[in-house]
Amino acid sequence: MKKIIILMTGLLFALNVMAKVGVFPKEDFDKLSYGLYWFGSNNQYEKAGDTTKDGSSYYDPSKPTLILIHGWQPFRMNSYDRFVFHESGEGSTYPDIDLANLWISQGYNIGVFYWDQFADEANVDSAEAKIWTATGKHNMRWKDGNGDYHDGPDKNVTELLLSEYLASMAGYQGKGSDIRIAGHSLGNQLALRLTEELAKLSDQGEIAQNLVPQRVSLLDAFYSNFGKSYLNSKWVGEVARDIVKDLKKRGVAIDSYRTSTVVSTIFAGDENPKLHNSVAFVEQKTKFFNQTQVAAKHSAAIWLYLWSIIYPTPSVTDNTLPGLSATSTNAEVKQWMATTDHLIQIEGGTTKEPQDNVYKTTSAL
């Protein structure tokens, strides 16, 4: 019971991530500001779009590319804060590392899909609905820096981000296998939906095959409980499983990392074991935070994944396959997807640094 009480009291802030004030100007919060932003080191950024599609200060269309999609953002806009890749200072639970620069040093473009003004809802279900429909309880309203809501567009968040992606990536010269979408918390639903929509457009000959991401990484993925009217009474997790099934048939590599209890208890959300059993699934330990630090554990999925790109894949004590991390190749992810096992961390869970992590296999959830 104590664990449940701790979980419930921490849930409100657990599904959003650490953010930084002052990187984006206040003027950006006075108007509707969403879409894809490319990052350089030291939290330098630029808005992606038609003017950057053929190359820019922070985007090279010939390089492999990671796009991160954040999750729920309650009570964030009136603090003028927004997720960035280098968190530091008092109150931050992130390592004092420029995470974007790590990926840049490995030859990647790195960006963020922002939908935070839509995601700033007191109720996570209201933010989640906007991923799937533009006509939910609160339609597509968005919040400004004063905390006031405004009427939004007539397209849902997936449709909006799809348009932003197509405009920003139109000049991409690499392969689909070089594009990966990582979604944290609610953002995992956007990562899956966006990738499937791109695949469908490719099927119809409307976009080139190389624009379809071939890697989707789910970071402490969240799905709410109960059926939704906008999904014909289906659970969100149920529809997400259907998307995963479709993407698997298309050869997309999907890895999933759990770091908190937010996503593994009925009191908070749908654990969705069938989905995780069908992909390459990892349970990571975050014992460097105490059990009351639910939000920190939830957000750790982001920086553990991003940080791991500079280290070799972790070892697995009872299997010849390499462990799973951001460094894993798509082929290695698919090997784990083909098994009935998943990985659970047995060493390194008391330190933030990923390089000492060791795993073993365990049976399906």
Fold annotation for 2-362: Rossmann fold (3.40.50)
pLDDT more than 70, % of the chain: 94
Exposed/middle/buried for residue 1 (C-beta within 10 Å: 0-12, 13-18, 19+): exposed
Give the tens place of pLDDT for each residue, 180-201: 999 999 999 999 999 999 999 9
pLDDT, position 22: 62
Confidence label for 6 from pLDDT (cuts 50, 70 and 90): very low
Confidence label for 94 from pLDDT (cuts 50, 70 and 90): very high
Q: Given a cut of 90, is residue 355 above it in pLDDT?
A: yes
Amino acid letter at 157?
V
pLDDT, position 2: 39
Q: Given a cut of 70, is residue 365 above it in pLDDT?
A: yes
Q: Given a cut of 90, is residue 15 above it in pLDDT?
A: no
Flag the least confident range among 7-21, 224-238, 293-307, 335-349: 7-21
**Do residues 60 and 103 lie in contact, with contact meaning Cβ atoms separated by under 8 Å?**
no
pLDDT, position 241: 99
Mean pLDDT of the chain: 93
Give the tens place of pLDDT for each residue, 16-51: 454 455 689 999 999 999 999 999 999 999 999 999
Report the distance separating Cα 16 and Cα 224, nearest Å: 14
